[in-house]
Amino acid sequence: MRQVLVLNGPNLGRLGSREPDVYGDTTHAGLAERCRRLGAELGLDVEVRQTDDEAELVGWLHEAADDATPVVLNPAAFTHYSYALRDACAQLRAPLVEVHISNPAAREVFRHTSVVAGVATGTVAGFGPASYDLALRAVADTPS
**Those residues with Cβ within 8 angstroms of residue 82's Cβ, 6 or more apart along the chain or in another chain:** 54, 75, 115, 116
Three-class SS state of 100:
strand
pLDDT reported for residue 37 = 98
The residues with which 124 forms a beta bridge, in sequence order, are 99
Q: What is the pLDDT along the chain (144 residues), one digit of tens a residue?
A: 899 999 999 988 887 777 667 666 788 999 999 999 999 999 999 999 999 999 999 999 999 999 999 999 999 999 988 999 999 999 999 999 999 998 887 677 867 789 999 999 999 999 999 999 999 999 999 987
How far is 122 from 106, CA to CA, in rounded Å?
18
pLDDT reported for residue 24 = 63
Burial of 89 (0-12, 13-18, 19+ CB in 10 A): buried
Instruction: Determine whether the annotation assigns residue 102 to a binding site.
Output: yes
Going across the sheet that includes 122-125, the strands are 44-50, 2-8, 71-74, 96-100, 122-125
pLDDT reported for residue 34 = 98
| Number of domains within the chain | 1
Q: The domain containing residue 108 runs over which residues?
A: 2-141
Q: CA dist 95 to 54, 106, 120, Å?
A: 21, 26, 8
Instruction: Determine whether the annotation assigns residue 67 to a binding site.
Output: no
Q: Which residues are catalytic?
A: 23, 100
Q: What's 36's domain CATH number?
A: 3.40.50.9100
pLDDT reported for residue 13 = 86
- Predicted TM-score of the model (pTM): 0.92
pLDDT reported for residue 23 = 62
